[in-house]
Amino acid sequence: MYTCSLERMTNKINTFSKFGDAGHGGITRYSLSEEAIMARKEFIKRMEAIGAVIEIDDVANIYATLPGTDENAKRIVMASHCDSVKNGGNYDGILGVMSAMEVLETVHEHNIPHKHPLTAMIWTNEEGSLYPPAMMCSGIVCYDYLPEDIRVKFRYEDMMNSKSILDEEKTFGEALKASGFMGDKKYRLSPEKYLYMFETHIEQGPILEDAGKDIGVVDCVLGMFNYRLKFYGQTTHAGTFPMPKRKDAFFAAAKALNYLHEEIDKLGYSDLVYTTGELVCHPCVHTCVPDFFDFSFDARHEDPKVLEKVLEIVKSCEEKDWAGCSCKVEKAWNRDTVYWDKKLVAYVEEAAKELGVSYQYIHSGAGHDAQFVSYMLPTTMIFVQSKDGLSHCEPEYSSPEHCTEGASVMLNAVLKADA
C-alpha cells in the first residue's frame, strides 16, 4: 500500500486557496475567469514538473497524463473541477483535482509501476455559477451517452451561447476563446481512450463527521426532481382592500408550502431530503398585494417509488384552493439515481480497509461531473469528511489529513483497477 504526502497536499491547499481569495477564508473562482486561469496554470506547471503530458480539449478540459508500461492500454482518469460558486470554499471541486495531482506525484516519486496511463483532469464549468448550466462541459463531452431528457439540455451550440450572469453580452464561447484554453476536440474524454474514472470530493454534508468516519465510499448519486409551484391571485392596494376579499398569492404559497412539509413528513422517510430554494414574487412592491408567487421544490431520494409518493403530494396542490388563489405545478427537470460501478466501489472499500482508514458507505445528494461520465465509462467517487457538513460557503473545511487520506485511498483504488 502507498500513501500520499501530507506535506505536498497541505502546500497545494494553501497555494490554490490564493487563486480567487475573497478575503474571508474562501474563494470566488468563476470558470474561465482570471482566477481560474491562475489555478489552471498552476496545475499545468506542477504536472509538467513530473513529466506528465498536457492535453486540452475544445471546451478547455485539461488532461495531464503519466504514461504506463503498456502504450496501447486505455487511460485511467481522476477528475474534478477548479471553479467555485460565489464566496465558496477552498475544497469543493478543487480537492478532486489536487487529489488527482497527488496520485500522479506519488506514482512519480516512488516510481510505482502501472500498466495503464494515469490522467489527472480538470473539468471546465462544473458549477455553472457564471455561465449556466452546472456540469456544462461534462454534459457536452458525455452528450451522446446521456439519457434523452438530460441530453437535450447540453447541446454544444446552446452551451457556447450561454450568457454570463454578470455580463449578458458575453457568452461562454467568447470567454472560452479569450481564455487561451480552447484546445482540440480530439483530446476529449472518450471510451475509446479511457477505461475508468475516479473522483474524490468533499462530502458537503455532516454524515461522516457525525459517524466518526474519515472517508465515504460513495455508491450512488441520488435521484431527484425539481418542480415549480405557481400561484395566481389578484393585485390590490395593500392599504385599502379588505382582508376577506383578498387573493394574496404570497399567502397562498406560504399555506401550500406548510402543507407540503406536513404531508411529506408524514411519509416517514428519514433519508428523504427536500427544499424550496428559489422564488419569484410579483409585483414585489410593499404597497401591493401579490398577484403571483412562484417557488421551486427540490426533492431527493435513492428510491424512485419514494419520489413518486412525494410527487403525488406536490401535484395535489393543483387540486386545492389556496386562500382564493389557484396553483399550477410545472416540472423543471429530474434525474434517476445514478449508481457507481460496483467493481470500482469495491476497490475503494478495499483500499480504505488496507490503509486502516475509517470509512462507511454513503450516497451523494449533490450532482457531480462523475454522474455524467458514468453513462460513458465505469465510474466511482470517494468522499472526504467535511467539518460541520458545510460547503458552498467560505467556512467550508476539510483537514489536510483527511484530504491526504482521500488521495491515498484513490491512489490505491486506482492501482487495483490498473492491475
Does residue 217 contact residue 339 with C-beta atoms inside 8 Å?
A: no
DSSP 8-state symbol, 122: E
What pLDDT is recorded for position 204? 97
What is the DSSP secondary-structure string of 148-206?
HHHHGGG-HHHHHTPBPSS-TT-BHHHHHHHHT----GGGS--TTTEEEEEEEEE--SS
Does residue 385 contact residue 402 with C-beta atoms inside 8 Å?
A: yes
In the annotated binding site for Zn(2+), the residues are: 81, 92, 127, 201, 392
What pLDDT is recorded for position 213? 98
What pLDDT is recorded for position 333? 87
What pLDDT is recorded for position 388? 97
What type of residue is 373? V
Model-level pTM? 0.93
Question: Apex CA 308: angle with CA 304 and CA 312, to 5°?
Answer: 170
Domains recognised in the chain with CATH numbers = 6-221+337-418 (3.40.630.10), 223-335 (3.30.70.360)
Q: How many Å apart are CA 136 and CA 158, to the nearest integer?
A: 10
φ, ψ of residue 345 to 5 degrees: the values are -60, -40
Query: What DSSP element (H or E) covers 318?
Result: none
- Indicate the angle between helix axes 34-49 and 94-110, nearest 10 degrees: 10
pLDDT by position in tens, the chain (length 419): 999 999 999 999 999 999 999 899 999 999 999 999 999 999 999 999 999 999 999 999 999 999 999 989 999 999 999 999 999 999 999 999 999 999 999 999 999 999 999 999 999 999 999 999 999 999 999 999 999 989 988 999 999 999 999 988 899 999 999 999 999 999 999 999 999 999 999 999 999 999 999 999 999 999 999 999 999 999 999 999 999 999 999 999 999 999 999 999 999 999 999 999 999 999 999 999 999 999 999 999 999 999 999 999 999 999 999 999 999 999 998 989 999 999 999 999 999 999 999 999 999 999 999 999 999 999 999 999 999 999 999 999 999 999 999 999 999 999 999 99
Nearest of 170, 226, 199, 157 to residue 30 by alpha carbon: 170
In the annotated binding site, the residues are: 81, 92, 127, 201, 392
Nearest of 31, 43, 246, 51 to residue 132 by alpha carbon: 31
What is the DSSP secondary-structure string of 321-378?
-BTTBEEEEEEEEEE--EEPPHHHHHHHHHHHHHHT--EEEEEE-S--HHHHHTTTS-
Does residue 369 contact residue 199 with C-beta atoms inside 8 Å?
A: yes
Q: In b/e form, how buried is each residue of 110-120, taking b as 16+ CB within 10 angstroms? A: eeeebebbbbb
What pLDDT is recorded for position 359? 98
Does residue 96 contact residue 80 with C-beta atoms inside 8 Å?
A: yes
Q: How many Å apart are CA 19 and CA 21, to the nearest integer?
A: 6
Q: How many Å apart are CA 256 and CA 227, to the nearest integer?
A: 14
Distances (CA, A) of 253 to 165, 235, 291, 338: 28, 15, 11, 32
